[in-house]
């Protein structure tokens, strides 16, 4: 695992547990530097930085030559990362009722609020307010968790152009996503799919590794899910 440098200032803001989780993150080619916005080295050393504004902080990884590990005051910080700062993975779960398609949304940064000095995961808090629910296992009955969001996609086969909108019609994700065989057919058949997301920075593209990651997050109470309807 690549080395992640953490300053005492960052450790005081995040706490030992959050720092330990950040050190466990496996960066992918989608992860970008919090300083220059260029891709981060998958196997190289990085600095952990926090960018704060008005009590909200975004935890980012940065090239060692761009930003020292420290706490910075930045421009507007949003609870939901920008679409360009998100990795989306598609999968198909095998159940007794047949294949069930799903998506995993993985922000490449972590957002925290500190109301009253308490560190709160701002991304999770926002999604819970949108109707997503905490899950303790990978759900095979997704339509019981509708959140009023929608998705559409163009293309078929191994890759589609995916667009996910929140309940207000705002963009959550837009980009090309590699999909396994049967994912597009399953989404059309079911009229949508589950999106899993939460306290996760990136996920490995390997389906087995993705499922293992989700199960570990669910066991820690850091995974939320919501049913997104096909528009």
**CB proximity list for 114: less than 8 A, separation 6 or greater:** 55, 56, 57, 120
How far apart CA 99 and CA 93 sit, in angstroms, is: 6
Q: Averaged over 1-15, what is the pLDDT?
A: 82
* CA nearest neighbour of 204 among 89, 49, 99: 89
Q: Is the pLDDT score of 205 beyond 60? A: no
Residue ranges of domains in the chain = 4-73, 83-230
Q: What is the pTM of this model?
A: 0.67
Give CA–CA dist 51/66, Å, rounded. 14
Q: At 83, is the secondary structure helix, strand, or coil?
A: helix
pLDDT band at 83 (very low <50, low <70, confident <90, very high): very low
- What DSSP assignment string belongs to 168-213? TS-EEEEEEEE--TTHHHHHHHHTEEEEEEES-S---SSHHHHHHH
| 182 has pLDDT over 90 | no
Q: How confident is the model at residue 127 (pLDDT cuts 50, 70, 90)?
A: confident
């Amino acid at each position: 695992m690549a080395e992640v440098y953490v300053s005492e200032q960052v450790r005081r803001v995040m706490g030992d547990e959050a720092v330990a989780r950040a050190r466990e993150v496996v960066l992918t080619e989608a992860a970008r530097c919090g300083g220059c916005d260029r891709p981060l080295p998958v196997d190289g050393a990085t600095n952990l930085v926090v960018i704060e504004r008005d009590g909200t902080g975004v935890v980012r990884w940065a090239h060692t030559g761009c930003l020292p590990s420290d706490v910075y005051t930045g421009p507007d910080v949003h609870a939901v990362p920008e679409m360009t700062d998100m990795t989306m993975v598609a999968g198909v779960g095998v159940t007794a009722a047949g294949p069930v398609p799903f998506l995993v949304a993985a922000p490449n940064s972590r957002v925290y609020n500190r109301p009253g000095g308490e560190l709160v995961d701002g991304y999770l808090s926002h999604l819970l307010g949108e109707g997503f629910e905490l899950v303790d296992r990978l759900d095979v009955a997704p339509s019981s968790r509708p959140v009023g969001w929608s998705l559409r996609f163009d293309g078929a086969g191994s890759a589609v152009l995916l667009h996910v909108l929140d309940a207000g019609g705002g963009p959550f994700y837009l980009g090309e996503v590699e999909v396994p065989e049967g994912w597009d057919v399953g989404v059309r058949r079911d009229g949508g799919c589950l999106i899993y997301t939460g306290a996760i920075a990136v996920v490995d593209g390997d389906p087995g590794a993705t499922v293992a990651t989700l199960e570990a997050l669910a066991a820690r109470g850091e995974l939320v899910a919501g049913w997104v309807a096909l528009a």
